[in-house]
A and B are shown apart, each in its own frame.
Chain A
Amino acid sequence: DTGVSQDPRHKITKRGQNVTFRCDPISEHNRLYWYRQTLGQGPEFLTYFQNEAQLEKSRLLSDRFSAERPKGSFSTLEIQRTEQGDSAMYLCASSRDDQPQHFGDGTRLSIL
């Protein structure tokens, strides 16, 4: 169990640029989740994959956001045309079916 890995840990970009984050889940975990955490708040659910299928997307996930998990292993989260309000910690978690979710250390996004 090597844990959930996220890359990069920090990303600073200018408003309007596109950014992409990667998440590598625990190897035997079939479920993968993305959450967003803003300062002083708890994480908020963004989207969920069962293997390679994206089964749920929160209304928080605007059209500028897209997530993929092409082979049911790692996942990417892309934000297009970033805005100031996108500044947050983006957390990835994985689980085996309904077992508790294990979280990565997150990617902190700062928009200049």
Chain B
Amino acid sequence: AQSVTQLGSHVSVSEGALVLLRCNYSSSVPPYLFWYVQYPNQGLQLLLKYTSAATLVKGINGFEAEFKKSETSFHLTKPSAHMSDAAEYFCAVTGGTGAGSYQLTFGKGTKLSVIP
């Protein structure tokens, strides 16, 4: 079974400041990890994915995340926040390949606000 905990339901940063959104996971098998972004009244858009290759993963819109097995973490960062980054962000885990690989388990989400 897999689970995800996102620390902080709401994060506010100033425009141009560092964005750090925290995600910790639990998985009984080597996990595949994802970050998705959701804008109001829209579906989820994939930002980046970790699938057991490089531990530092670069995604779209300048976001990146680092897989740390020892800390069971997959935090999302962006060096400089832009107003257009304001949205809700979801961390998700699957069981990699094979059994359980089809089912995404999501965290509760972190709403990012960017202050001008």
**Do B101 and A45 have beta carbons less than 8 Å apart?**
no
A93-112: which residues lie under 8 A (CB-CB) from chain B?
93, 98, 100-106, 108
Confirm or deny: B44 has a beta carbon within 8 angstroms of a beta carbon on chain A. Answer: yes
Confirm or deny: B74 has a beta carbon within 8 angstroms of a beta carbon on chain A. Answer: no
Known: A41-B109, A42-B108. A100 touches B46 (CB 8 A): yes
Main SS of chain A's interface residues?
A: strand
A31's contact among B45, B92, B102, by CB below 8 Å, is which? B102
Q: Which B residues are CB-close (under 8 A) to A26?
A: none
Interface size on B, residues (CB 8 A): 23
A4-53: which residues lie under 8 A (CB-CB) from chain B?
4, 6, 31, 33, 35, 40-45, 48, 50
Confirm or deny: B34 has a beta carbon within 8 angstroms of a beta carbon on chain A. Answer: yes
Chain A residues within CB distance 8 Å of chain B: 4, 6, 31, 33, 35, 40-45, 48, 50, 55-56, 91, 93, 98, 100-106, 108
Chain B residues within CB distance 8 Å of chain A: 4, 9, 34, 36, 41-46, 49, 90, 92, 97, 101-109
21 pairs of residues in contact across A and B, judged by CB atoms under 8 Å: A6-B43, A33-B104, A35-B104, A40-B9, A41-B109, A42-B92, A42-B106, A42-B109, A43-B90, A44-B106, A45-B103, A48-B103, A50-B102, A55-B102, A100-B34, A101-B104, A103-B36, A103-B45, A105-B42, A106-B42, A108-B41
